[in-house]
Structure 1
Amino acid sequence: MRAGVLTVGITPSHPAPLAGFTARRGDFTRIDTPLEANLAAFADRDGQPVVLGSVDTLFVGPSVRTAIAEAAGIPARRLVLVATHTHNAPSLAPEIPRLGPYDPAYGDMVVQRIGEAVRRLIARPGPALSVGHARRHAPFNVNRRRPAWVLDYSALRHERRLRFGKVIAMAPHRDGTVDPTLRCIVLRDAASAVRAVIWSFPCHANRYPRPDHVSADFPGLVRNRLRAVFGEACAVLYLPGLAGSAIPDIPFAAPRSLRDLVGQMLPFNPVLPSFTLESYRAWGEALSQVALACAGAAGAVNGGAAVTHRSARSPRVFVGDGAGGCPDIALDFVRLDFGETCGVVAMTGEMVGEWSPILQPLLPEGWIATGYLAGPSLYVPTDRLVREGGYEADRFRQVFGLPGGFVAGLVPIVRRSLDDLSRVDTGFAATPDWAERPPSAPCEAPDAPWKA
């Protein structure tokens, strides 16, 4: 298997807003770590290029993806871009301005840099590379959907209105579904030098201690540790996995401010804990050590002469209200097989961690399943989560500007789309019985807490 790899700097050169939090105002005040796009270009079985890319941003919107493909001179379907989902980078998704205003000058810079890099990669074949995969237990994430009794202190203070009830709060839920598994795919050249590491850990990159600073968050921290061992030329592609309801499990959640302390002490007020800079570094170093061990354990085998590239689009999963200009939304799926031992399945949307026990068993051990594929931005809950409610099921819609709602039967729709990618060629376990099951069966049973 031949592959070319390249790292492109996309750190902003001028002040710009950051994307990820609606309450954040103004431009960033400092650059703590650089932002990157890490790319790997392959030839598929038809001899056509396909490029897998990991981009330090919240989302890559459909318009930016189209612009990059045009700048690169390749069809958009051959450009498989996955956002690292850092909440400390400028927006590359003008379609969701409430999560951070889009800066056209920054967007144009990123489009041109990635487009030019892709052109260079596909202009000449890369060296012959072997491929290996491994996985390691990484107990550093936790589910964030906690069933809890909540008192709305904001309504009490500003509206003098008592609002109290049981909801799905955004707070650590240790009995919730989470996949504590770090997976990696390693590409080595003929001299056994590591040319690229593709790694995944299902976790939100949204707890960086400096919300007004530019940072690649923990994907950048792990990237630096991998390069310290494998060399600065090593491309490191982070794929967030099924991370929509997973957050860092902070070993020591010391409050950063008096306001944080008060918030943690109030009764009936479940909140997300905040990192201190020291606890963030300790957590990131522990995760980095697991990533290094995982990459070192990935034994090399011949990846075959070419990469298998397939794509599919699901039926609609979200129905817009029409009047508000919100369209119906389907999910895009892309599958890349690196021979018969490992590969990547990428999906649009923030696939919540509750998908892990449903989808991961359908894939062989060496495959990485990830959301955050470039395209429409939305959370993708399971049917059970839609019934339960919570931010990932319904409250996100106002923030994302998505009036409307989900269709029934999300689990069979997603399973069938994955199955469509699995029927042809090799590498996937077929699941021909999915359509024979009633919709309630795959929706209910797999949502139990799941540990790798």
Structure 2
Amino acid sequence: MRAGFLTVDITPARPAPLAGFAARTRAFAGIDAPLEANLAGFIGDDGQRVVLGSLDTLFVGAATHAAIAAAADMAPERLVLVATHTHNAPSLAAEVPQLGALDPDYRDMVVQRVAEAIRRLPAAPVAAGTAERHAPYNVNRRKPAWVLDYPALRRERRLRFGREIALAPYRKGIVDQTLRCIVLRDGGGTVRAVVWSFACHANRYPRMDRVSPDFPGLVRDHLRRRFGAGCAVLYLPGFAGSAIADIPFPIPRTVNEFLRIALPFNPYVPWFTPETFRAWGDRLAATAVACAEAARPADAELTHRHARSASVFHGTPEIALDLVDLDFGPACGIVAMTGEVIGEWGPILAPHLPPGRIATGYLAGPCLYVPTDAAVRAGGYEADRFRTLFDLDGAFIPDLDRTVARAVAGLLDGQPVANTLHPARQERLA
């Protein structure tokens, strides 16, 4: 297998709104760390390319993906872009304006720089190895709890009290605590790229008004200190839709923070301080470095498949899931799909995923959460409440589990996927 790797700086040159929180509407106040697009281009003997990219942004919208493909003179299905989902970067998805207004100049800069890098990706023989490590640094955030709506009580004098799925750590919930990596080495054994995955929302950076890649950037720095400054580092968030950082119990610094902890029936997500963020991130990074060091290279041959599921959301717009499979031989590969796939999909899709595969959401395309049937019945932000912020009007289909599992199984089997908008397509590259 031949491949080339590049890192592109996509840090904004002037202030712009950050994407991720509807209440945050002002332009950023400063830059704490650069944003990057890390690219891996796989090239066959016929000169055809498949490019995998990891971009420091909340979502890569369908229009941005199409613009990069066109500017790079690539077929869109051969351009596999995944967002790191940092909540401290400008938007690249006009489809979700409530989560951060898109700055056209910033988007045009990213399109131009990434497309230019794709056009000049080098190509040399590489080998691929995989490894995984236990990483107990995340937790499920769909907590069944009794909740008292204090803002409604204070502002509207309205009592709203009941049992619901709250956004708060839930230690009995499903979460994937495995850190996975694929390491790509050149003929001399030098590590040229690390593709790593850990299911966790990149939304707890302690300085909300600053540009930052969040923990993917911190881990990236550690991996480069180990493998060299030229190492491309591609982060894939996994099934992170219902996973957050498992943060030590915070010490209140303000009255509001004290009340969040002290008030009854008030589930909350703990917060980082700069010091606790660094300590948590360093532990995660140490695990990532150990995982990459354990990966043993083997000859690889890339197989690329792509498919689209049947519609999973009926409404405005109508949404199906795009799926991509990149196999680096029998030992390892990547399965990516659009949407914020919640961790509860892990047990459902595990029977269809071969060993050594990194499964991830956040593939470029439609912006939505992808809940399971059980999550839709239970309710909560990831199943229902997110729709207003994502400008979606409609409902999920009643048979999500079977529809998505069928699409994934058909994709990996290389067979036509029943009831999909188009069948799985496969190319084998030397």
TM-score band, normalised by shorter chain? over 0.9
Counterpart in 1 of 2:422?
none
Alignment of 1:246-395 (within 5 A): 246-304=243-301, 307-320=302-315, 326-395=316-385
How far apart, in 2, do the equivalents of 1:203 and 1:299 lie? Answer: 26
Shift of 1:424: 2.8
Shift of 1:257: 3.2
**Structure 1, residues 106-165: CA drift from partner, whole Å, max 9, x if none?**
0000000001001111xx5x1111110000000000000000000001110111110000
Alignment of 1:4-403 (within 5 A): 4-44=4-44, 47-121=47-121, 126-304=123-301, 307-320=302-315, 326-403=316-393
| Amino acid of the structure 2 residue aligned with 1:138 | A
Shift of 1:341: 1.2
What is the TM-score with the length of structure 2 in the denominator?
Answer: 0.95
**Structure 1, residues 183-205: CA drift from partner, whole Å, max 9, x if none?**
00000111111000000000000
Taking a change above 3 Å as real, the CA distance of residues 256 and 353 of structure 1, as seen in their structure-2 partners, is farther
Counterpart in 1 of 2:406?
416
How far apart, in 2, do the equivalents of 1:389 and 1:257 lie? Answer: 32
**Structure 1, residues 72-95: CA drift from partner, whole Å, max 9, x if none?**
110111100000000000000011
How far apart, in 1, do the equivalents of 2:255 and 2:191 lie? Answer: 46
| Amino acid of the structure 2 residue aligned with 1:339 | G
Judge conservation of contact 2:317–2:393 (CA < 8 Å) in 1: no
| Amino acid of the structure 2 residue aligned with 1:313 | R
| Amino acid of the structure 2 residue aligned with 1:85 | H
How far apart, in 1, do the equivalents of 2:360 and 2:346 lie? Answer: 10
Judge conservation of contact 1:134–1:184 (CA < 8 Å) in 2: yes
Judge conservation of contact 1:178–1:353 (CA < 8 Å) in 2: yes
Shift of 1:339: 1.6
| Amino acid of the structure 2 residue aligned with 1:99 | L
Q: Which runs of 5+ in 1 are unaligned?
A: 321-325, 426-431, 436-452
| Amino acid of the structure 1 residue aligned with 2:134 | H
How far apart, in 1, do the equivalents of 2:414 and 2:217 lie? Answer: 36
| Amino acid of the structure 1 residue aligned with 2:309 | S
How far apart, in 2, do the equivalents of 1:36 and 1:348 lie? Answer: 20
Judge conservation of contact 1:44–1:309 (CA < 8 Å) in 2: no
What is the TM-score with the length of structure 1 in the denominator?
Answer: 0.91
Taking a change above 3 Å as real, the CA distance of residues 258 and 339 of structure 1, as seen in their structure-2 partners, is same
How far apart, in 1, do the equivalents of 2:103 and 2:11 lie? Answer: 13
| Amino acid of the structure 2 residue aligned with 1:28 | F
Judging by fraction of residues, say which structure has more strand. Answer: 2
| Amino acid of the structure 1 residue aligned with 2:16 | A
How far apart, in 2, do the equivalents of 1:356 and 1:246 lie? Answer: 12
Counterpart in 1 of 2:427?
none
How far apart, in 2, do the equivalents of 1:215 and 1:298 lie? Answer: 29
SS state at 2:252 partner:
coil
Greater than 6 Å deviation, 4+ residue runs: none
How far apart, in 2, do the equivalents of 1:2 and 1:71 lie? Answer: 23
**Structure 1, residues 321-366: CA drift from partner, whole Å, max 9, x if none?**
xxxxx22100000000112211100000000000111113422221
Taking a change above 3 Å as real, the CA distance of residues 375 and 44 of structure 1, as seen in their structure-2 partners, is farther
Deviates more, 1:248-257 or 1:62-71: 248-257
How far apart, in 1, do the equivalents of 2:17 and 2:185 lie? Answer: 38
Taking a change above 3 Å as real, the CA distance of residues 340 and 44 of structure 1, as seen in their structure-2 partners, is farther
**Structure 1, residues 253-272: CA drift from partner, whole Å, max 9, x if none?**
23353312211211110011
Shift of 1:240: 0.1
| Amino acid of the structure 2 residue aligned with 1:157 | R
Judge conservation of contact 1:255–1:276 (CA < 8 Å) in 2: no
Shift of 1:390: 0.0
| Amino acid of the structure 2 residue aligned with 1:406 | F
Shift of 1:252: 3.6
**Structure 1, residues 191-223: CA drift from partner, whole Å, max 9, x if none?**
111000000000000000001100000000000
Judge conservation of contact 1:255–1:273 (CA < 8 Å) in 2: no
Judge conservation of contact 1:82–1:372 (CA < 8 Å) in 2: yes
Deviates more, 1:2-11 or 1:336-345: 336-345
Judge conservation of contact 2:249–2:270 (CA < 8 Å) in 1: no
Judge conservation of contact 2:345–2:372 (CA < 8 Å) in 1: yes
**Structure 1, residues 2-48: CA drift from partner, whole Å, max 9, x if none?**
10000000000000000000111210001001000000000258652
SS state at 2:247 partner:
coil
